[in-house]
Amino acid sequence: MITLLALSGSLRLGSSNTVLLEAAALLAPAGMRIAAYDGIGSLPHFNPDLDGDNPPRSVMALRHLVGAADGLIISCPEYARGIPGSFKNALDWLVGSSEFPGKPIALFNASPRASDAQAALRLVLTTMSARIVEEASITLPLLATRMDAAGMAGNVEIAASVTAALAAFARAIETFAQAEPGGSG
Ligand SMILES: Cc1cc2nc3c(=O)[nH]c(=O)nc-3n(C[C@H](O)[C@H](O)[C@H](O)COP(=O)(O)O)c2cc1C
C-alpha cells in the first residue's frame, strides 16, 4: 500500500487547491491511500527557539505524518506572487526535521497563472532536499470552476490528468524504494 499525505496551501473553505486534493483522494487507484493533512492553520509561528528537544505537539504530529507517508502531494495557491505565509510556515517547521529530506513530492497546481509561487515552491522544496517528481506534477485551470471534489473526479479531462499523475507518482515511489530498500516510509 502506498500512503500519501496531501497538503493544501490554502486555508480557505472551498479552496480549489483543497478540492483538487480531495478529488485526487477519490481517484486514488487500488493500492494507494491519500490522507489529507488539515492542521496547517493550527501550527504555531515557526520559531527556532521552540524547535528543540520538545517541539510543539502539533509540529510533532505533522512530522510523524510526513515520516509515515511514502510521498506528499502539495497543491498551493499564489499570494502576492509567492507562497502563502501559512504554508511557508508549515514548510519551515519541516526544514530541520529528519522526516522530510528525500521525501517524494507531487506538485499539483490549480491555477496556470500561479507560476511565481510554483517557482518559489520548487526552490524551497529543493533546498529542503525533497524529491519533486516532475511526471507526477500537474497544473490544471480550476480557478473559477467552483467544482466540488466529486465534480472534479467526474470530469473526464481532470480525472485523466490526476489519474496519470498518481500512476506516475506511484511508479516513482516504487523506483525510489527499490533503489533504497527500507528507505521509504
Ligand atoms: C491575498 C491574495 C493574493 C493573491 N495574489 C495572487 C497572485 O499574486 N497571483 C495569482 O495568480 N493569484 C493571486 N491570488 C489569487 C489566488 O491565487 C486564487 O484566488 C486561488 O484560487 C486561491 O486558491 P484557493 O482557491 O485554493 O484558495 C491572490 C489571492 C489572495 C487572497
82 C-alpha to ligand 1 centroid (Å): 10
- How many independent structural domains does the chain possess? 1
Return the best residue to mutate from 111, 140, 148 for the ligand 1 pocket (most ligand atoms within 8 A of CB): 111
The verdict on residue 69 lying in a domain is yes
What CATH number is associated with residue 94?
3.40.50.360
Query: Residue 38 — very low, low, confident or very high, per pLDDT cuts 50/70/90?
Result: very high
Say if CB 42 and CB 34 are below 8 A apart: no
The verdict on residue 153 lying in a domain is yes
Selection from 85, 79, 77, 150 nearest residue 112 by Cα: 77
The protein residue with its alpha carbon nearest to ligand 1, atom 23, reads 77
The verdict on residue 88 lying in a domain is yes
Half-sphere exposure of 120 (CA within 13 A, CB side): 17
The verdict on residue 131 lying in a domain is yes
The verdict on residue 138 lying in a domain is yes
Q: What is the mean pLDDT of the chain?
A: 96
pLDDT digits (tens, 9 = 90+) for 83-124: 999 999 999 999 999 999 999 999 999 999 999 999 999 999
The verdict on residue 155 lying in a domain is yes
Cell of 170: 506511484
H-helix or E-strand containing 132?
A: strand 131-132
Cell of 144: 473559477
The verdict on residue 103 lying in a domain is yes
Res 105: pLDDT: 98
Q: Is residue 185's pLDDT more than 80?
A: no
Q: Is residue 183's pLDDT more than 60?
A: no
Work out the average pLDDT over 22-31.
98
Res 52: pLDDT: 87
Mind giving me the DSSP string for 110-171? S-TT-HHHHHHHHHHHHHTT-EE-GGG-EE---TTT---HHHHHH-HHHHHHHHHHHHHHHH
20: containing domain? 2-179
